[in-house]
Each structure stands twice: as C-alpha cells, then as structure tokens.
Amino acid sequence: MGDDDYDVELFEAIKRLVDKGVLSKNTLAHAISQVVVHEGYESLTPDQRLVYDEIIVPALVRQAAKLETTHH
C-alpha cells in the first residue's frame, strides 16, 4: 500500500479499540496493528502475525459482535 492508501475501516476499528481502552497505544500490539493498516497483513513477519492473530483479531471480533447486537 502507498502512503495515502490504507485500510480506513480497519483504522477506525482499531481507533475504537484504543478509545475504549481495549488496546493501548505505544504497545507492540498497537504498533503491529498500524503496520497492517498501512502495509497489509502480508507485510508482517511470522512473529508479528502471531501477535496480531492472538490479540488484535479477537478484540476486533468481540467489538464487531457488540456493534452488531447494539444495532439489532
């Protein structure tokens, strides 16, 4: 992805995690999430993917489930 090309939906979802205190800035998990937003999942190393898959993905899934239940 280029400098101006990033995943806006993922950026906003991660911002909500930070705003709700689920994810803290200046942590490894947050830094890795920003790499995915700006460079894509494929750019991660195997160790970074493990952190993303074990921390960020479950938090995003829980957030999506909460959003879905509040909209129905």
Nearest CA among 4, 8, 2 for reference residue 37:
8
Asked if residue 1 is part of any domain, the answer here is no
pTM assigned to the model: 0.84
Each residue's pLDDT tens digit, 6-38:
899 999 999 999 999 999 999 999 999 999 999
Instruction: Tell me which residue range forms the domain holding 16.
Output: 8-70
Number of domains into which the chain is organized: 1
Distance (Å, rounded) from C-alpha 25 to C-alpha 48?
Answer: 16
Evaluate if residue 40 carries a pLDDT over 90: yes
Asked if residue 64 is part of any domain, the answer here is yes
Evaluate if residue 65 carries a pLDDT over 80: yes
Strand, helix or coil for residue 10: helix
Token digits for 46? 């195997």
